[in-house]
A and B are shown apart, each in its own frame.
Chain A
Amino acid sequence: MKNSSLFNKLSSRLDELSNLPKLDDEVSISKLIEEKGFSRREFMGWAGAMTSMLMLPASFTPLVAKAAELADRLPLVWLHMAECTGCSESLLRSATPSIDSLIFDYISLEYHETIMAAAGWQAEHNLEHAMEKYKGRYILMVEGGIPHAQSDYFLTIGAHGKTGEQSAREASENAAAIFAIGSCSSFGGVQAAYPNPTNATALSNVTNKPVINVPGCPPSESNIVGTLLHFILYGTLPALDVFNRPKWAYGLRIHDACERRGRFDAGEFVEQFGDEGAKEGYCLYKVGCKGPYTFNNCSKQKFNQGTSWPVQAGHGCMGCSEPDFWDKMGIVHEPLGDRLYHTVFGGLGADATADKIGVGILTVTAIGIAAHAAISLIKNPKE
């Protein structure tokens, strides 16, 4: 029953969207998919994968497909702040050409500094035009931390000499939804690491609008696209955790669904890169994996169209979707064990036990779960 009412709710949301004018009358998503050589079956296969990622029942697949097809009703504005462009790169590598087409051909990317054809005055005009024409309707995605430091002109962009902070603030004002893409925009990122020389900060600190954080360095393309599809489907913000991350993506720890988890439970650890354990795919905890403290779905979604992810490649998780991980989760190749204060979760980490005992014990998991639960209790999750 619960599912069917949700189904109806999402259906009416999509009906509403389909009444909106298209951004470009000349193109239709289903026609484009066909032109690009994709069968309906392939497209539905993709939609099925997205459905399961968004933690919806398989029967919702047609809805997700429809949502994707309606993406051309929602203009997207993408701003760059202090960052490395890695998140855009992650998006550029997004899954299968159907998704690429969705992002680039169907969803009208009204403004994206890296990939749009315009530059200079023209680019700035495009941004202003998009913000005016689609007032209250556009989705804002911001990549990069917002720096304040050094001079009034810092990160001055655009022909009118606006600072990055001004642009971000103005664009946030009339956006239908705001997504902070990547750890920089979500939490300040690498430039905000000690001593934070440019005084970089999270997007949520420069606007009073609700910001959905999609952290990761970079976040996987599926988390970026999934966040967007979620908004198209629901028209509302997803359930968020204490750090404003969508629960469907950041609800579990890396450790919970790690492919090497069985090794951890059996007490089989890589003691040193290149050893026999490394060849056998043992747990990477002792060579610095921060999976037990990191909430993300990397092990399920992976990167580069599901090719791999750091732990699969033999390098521990570095905790990139957690706030301030640069300062709190070092040293990169050492476990956090025994350094219980000043770690994330105020030292609730369970690694000290694992480090000393080195055999599989479920206590570790139990404590981890307790940590997660404790944090969820601090603030009311926005269900």
Chain B
Amino acid sequence: MIKLIEKIEGEAKLNFNFKEGKIDFVDIEFMSTRNIENILRGKNAFDALVINPRVCGICGHAHLIATVQALESCYSNLKLSNKAKIIRELTLNFELIQNHFKWFYLTMLPLFGHKQEILKATYPSQLMGKAIAIFGGQYPHTSYAVVGGVVCEITEIDIIKLQHYMAETLKFVEENLVKTKSENFLTCEDADALLDYEGDLPDILRQIKKENLLEYGKSYDRFISFGHNSYFKKGKSLKAKITHNISVLHVKESEMPSSFAKNVSFKDKYYEVGPLARAMVNKTPLIADAHKKYGDSIFSRILARVCEISQLLQHSKELIKDLDLSEKSYIEPSIDISKLSSSGYSAVEAARGTLIHKVEIENGMIKNYEIITPTQWNLSGGTKDKHGVSQKAMIGLSDVKTAELVFKSFDVCSVCTTH
């Protein structure tokens, strides 16, 4: 049975094979590509800063940050002000937050039989879009991060606006998502205690328990996260055993015969990326507890993603305190790009997980560019002997509707994947 999956920011085709009433194997196919890597070749290196956000209109900012960091890694002694670093991180946080709202309200709620509440998705994501626009000029598709810093010269008034947008977003969370003071939510370490709260998130989690969906969506219990910053740590988690010493050099892409998307593996194994992976590597108490009780199921996956909204809002508040507006926004690199022949890479945590960019420059022109997106990790289409992460999570289910729920719990995005 073939099922077209929409509403994943693009399309993918899932081909379900049943055996004795249970899903035996799922082919995942992507039917298009835009070939951005090919378009980048031969262009001026800095042009990647405006082309790459267009890989994805949903996580374009992550692509901008990944691009600027990949280019900066080609320089040997590039200086970056703390201010520029904080601004880049803040905007990335805001992008993650707005994504999670939209995913929860537009994609997940209807799958649980709830009415799709578009305004609940758009209101907080608009606030976060405005917050990004203060620094970046517009959202989606900002190009304000450049090699050496950022171009915006923000003022105290901008900071006040920013704090207002964040306060409004927090208010929305406390009035809708989890109806309690966010301190309570953030300090909660017991996943079951969360079920006693009111709000859209506890409602869904209760429904998962009540309808016996707790066993659904389990995969390898193997997580990875490369994009470290002041909040996220780099590392991998295997059945809750965490290692921080990992290298991007072991990440490999491989072509698939039936799809335009490429598979991604780390040391030849498929790993899950995304908020649950980040929380596992970061050892976030609430998520670690959910994982201990319910494993890498849809329960933990949904909780981790929504929980990240509050965590990132909280962390962004702290980051703003460290922002020193008197610092430089931009420090000119000591070498002109046209004299640079080098290569580099970057890893950034995008809403859906680890995003990797690799670049090779020759006299300031792009010789080669590779982009590995989060959805490629989660949607790698393995074989019957070696399933991809989301494939494994769907196997054994008895109906396509539940499989779709499991599939979408990964917050898959075909736009990025078919770059």
Contact = CB atoms under 8 A, between A and B. Distances in A.
Contacts of A345: none
A190 B34 contact: yes
Contacts of B119: 36, 97, 100-101, 104-105
Interface string B337-370: 0000000000000000000000000000000000
A193 B39 contact: yes
Interface of A: 36, 80, 82-90, 92-93, 97, 100-101, 104-105, 113-121, 123-124, 147, 150, 153-159, 164, 189-191, 193-198, 200, 217-218, 220, 272-274, 278-279, 281, 302-305, 307-315, 318, 326, 330-333
Contact of B57 (A86, A312, A314, A330): A86
Contacts of B140: 84, 86, 89-90, 218
Contacts of B2: 159
Interface in B125-166: 125-126, 129-130, 132-144, 146, 148-149, 151-153
Given A154-B32, A197-B38, A314-B144, A119 B138 contact: no
Contact of B331 (A123, A158, A274): A274
A326 B51 contact: yes
Given A119-B404, A197-B35, A330 B43 contact: yes
B393 interface: no
28 contacts: A84-B54, A84-B55, A86-B57, A86-B141, A100-B123, A114-B106, A119-B3, A155-B31, A157-B11, A159-B3, A190-B34, A193-B51, A197-B35, A218-B140, A272-B330, A273-B148, A273-B149, A274-B153, A304-B130, A304-B132, A305-B126, A309-B137, A310-B142, A313-B151, A315-B151, A330-B44, A332-B44, A332-B47
A189 B4 CA distance: 26
A308 B125 CA distance: 16
Interface in B360-405: 404
Given A191-B35, A273-B151, A307-B134, A100 B9 contact: no
B363 to A, nearest CB: 13
Contacts of A318: 50, 143
Interface in B1-15: 2-7, 9-11
B6 A123 contact: yes
Nearest to A88: B57
A83 B415 contact: yes
A-B pairs, top 3 by smallest CB distance, nearest first, are: A86-B57, A274-B330, A313-B137
A105 B34 CA distance: 33
Given A158-B4, A310-B137, A115 B31 contact: no
Nearest to A160: B4
Scoring A121, A157, A190, A307 by chain B CB atoms within 10 A of each residue's CB, the highest score goes to A307
Contact of B146 (A97, A273, A330): A273
Contacts of B31: 153-157
B4 A333 contact: no
Contact of B133 (A190, A198, A308): A308
A343 B331 CA distance: 31
Contacts of B110: 117
Contacts of B330: 272-274, 278
Contacts of A157: 4, 11, 31
A84 B11 contact: no
B118 A100 contact: yes
A167 to B, nearest CB: 11
Contacts of A156: 31-32
B379 to A, nearest CB: 16
Interface of B: 2-7, 9-11, 31-36, 38-39, 42-44, 46-47, 49-51, 54-58, 60, 102, 106, 110, 116, 118-119, 121-123, 125-126, 129-130, 132-144, 146, 148-149, 151-153, 328-332, 404, 415
B7 A114 contact: yes
Contacts of B10: 80, 85, 113
Contact of B118 (A105, A118, A158): A105
A87 B138 contact: no
A84 B50 CA distance: 13
A135 to B, nearest CB: 23
Contacts of B50: 318, 332
A292 to B, nearest CB: 18
Q: Is the interface of A mostly helix, strand, loop or mixed?
A: loop
A113 B7 contact: yes
A310 B329 CA distance: 16
Contacts of A312: 137
Contact of A332 (B49, B106, B129, B328): B49
A219 to B, nearest CB: 11
Contact of B332 (A93, A123, A272, A310): A272
Nearest to A333: B46
Contacts of B415: 83-85
Nearest to B114: A117
Contact of B139 (A88, A100, A303): A303
A120 B39 contact: no
Contacts of A92: 102, 121-122, 125-126
Contacts of A85: 9-10, 56-58, 415
A191 B140 CA distance: 18
Nearest to A303: B138
A304 B141 contact: no
Given A86-B54, A86-B56, A200-B34, 15 more contacts: A82-B34, A84-B57, A86-B58, A105-B118, A115-B7, A123-B6, A190-B51, A191-B39, A274-B149, A278-B153, A308-B137, A312-B137, A313-B137, A330-B44, A330-B47
Contacts of A217: 54, 141
Given A87-B57, A93-B122, A197-B39, A310 B146 contact: no
B29 to A, nearest CB: 9
A153 B11 CA distance: 14
Contact of A82 (B3, B32, B331): B32
A363 B17 CA distance: 69
B137 A147 contact: no
A333 B153 contact: no
A93 B34 contact: no
Given A308-B134, A318-B50, A84 B35 contact: no
A29 to B, nearest CB: 15
A238 B137 CA distance: 29
Contact of B151 (A113, A220, A304, A314): A314
Contacts of B122: 92-93, 97, 100, 104
B160 to A, nearest CB: 14
Given A195-B39, A331-B47, A332-B47, A84 B56 contact: yes
Given A85-B56, A114-B7, A194 B142 contact: no
B152 A313 contact: yes
A312 B332 CA distance: 21
Contacts of B138: 220, 302-304, 308-310, 313
Contact of A331 (B46, B130, B149): B46
Contacts of A313: 133-138, 142, 144, 151-152
